[in-house]
């Protein structure tokens, strides 16, 4: 079972879209293995966005991501990283495909509602920034066999 991190950013919280977005993820069949309200500090943002600290847009990103509460979640399921990225849509909400989270709810590149890890390595690093292992609960629901069907039985 693969895990990924999502962050529901301050604009998502301010617009009261938390339930809508988490519902889409659960309706897809994924399991929310960890969930918490957080206020991302400058220190936490620097760890999470370490690759962007020296970039021109970082000060605005920092101002935005620390502007209010966010929700961090660990999502679990087969091929969850790639699937959540597709569900999220492209970074620019104006060009994101309709039917994606950003395509349906965002009209901005920066205030784009959600972050989703882009690789297994990123997911592992990002999860460790926001969660301790005892804050993550693996799914052992009986419905996994129904949701993930025969082809994924080996993964389970």
Helix (H, G, I), strand (E, B) or coil at 48: helix
CB of 81 closer than 8 Å to CB of 123: yes
* CB-based contacts of 27, cutoff 8 Å, min separation 6: none
Q: Is 115 a catalytic residue?
A: yes
List 74's β-bridge partners, or say none: 5, 34
* Residue 148 host element (H or E): helix 144-148
137 DSSP 8-state letter = -
- Which of 48, 52, 115, 141 is catalytic? The answer is 115
List 73's β-bridge partners, or say none: 6, 35
List 2's β-bridge partners, or say none: 77
* CB-based contacts of 116, cutoff 8 Å, min separation 6: 4, 5, 6, 81, 84, 85, 88
Catalytic residue annotation: 115
């Amino acid at each position: 079972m693969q895990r990924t991190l999502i962050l529901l950013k301050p604009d998502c919280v301010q617009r009261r879209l938390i339930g809508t977005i988490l519902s889409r993820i659960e309706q897809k069949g994924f399991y929310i293995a960890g969930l918490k309200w957080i206020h991302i500090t400058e220190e936490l943002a620097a760890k999470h966005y370490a690759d962007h600290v020296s970039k021109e847009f970082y000060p605005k990103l920092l101002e935005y991501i620390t502007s209010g509460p966010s929700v961090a979640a660990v999502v679990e399921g087969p091929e969850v990283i790639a699937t959540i990225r597709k569900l999220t849509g492209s970074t620019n909400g104006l060009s994101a495909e309709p039917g994606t989270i950003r395509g349906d709810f965002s009209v901005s590149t920066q205030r784009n509602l959600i972050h989703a890890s882009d690789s297994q390595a990123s997911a592992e690093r990002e999860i460790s920034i926001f969660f301790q292992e005892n804050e993550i609960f693996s799914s052992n629901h009986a419905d996994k066999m129904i949701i993930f069907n025969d082809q994924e039985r080996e993964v389970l």
